[in-house]
Amino acid sequence: MSTCLKGKHEGSAAPAAAATGGKDSAKAAPAVVADVARTKQKDRMKACNQQAGEQSLKGEARKTFMAECLKG
pLDDT tens-digit readout, 5-47: 777 665 554 444 444 455 555 556 778 888 888 889 999 999 9
- Is the residue at 63 inside a domain? yes
CB 19, CB 7: distance < 8 Å: yes
- Is the residue at 50 inside a domain? yes
- Alpha-carbon distance 36 to 26, whole Å? 16
- Is the residue at 22 inside a domain? no
Q: For residue 51, what are the domain limits?
A: 38-72
Q: Could you tell me which residue, 9 or 72, shows the higher pLDDT?
A: 72
Domain count along the chain = 1
When mean pLDDT is compared across 30-34, 42-46, 51-55, 65-69, the lowest value belongs to 30-34
Q: List Cα–Cα distances, 20 to 24, 28, 43, 50, in angstroms.
A: 6, 13, 35, 46
- Is the residue at 27 inside a domain? no
pTM of the model: 0.54
- Alpha-carbon distance 18 to 66, whole Å? 47
Give the CA count within 13 Å in the CB-facing half-sphere of 42: 6
Q: Could you tell me which residue, 35 or 51, shows the higher pLDDT?
A: 51
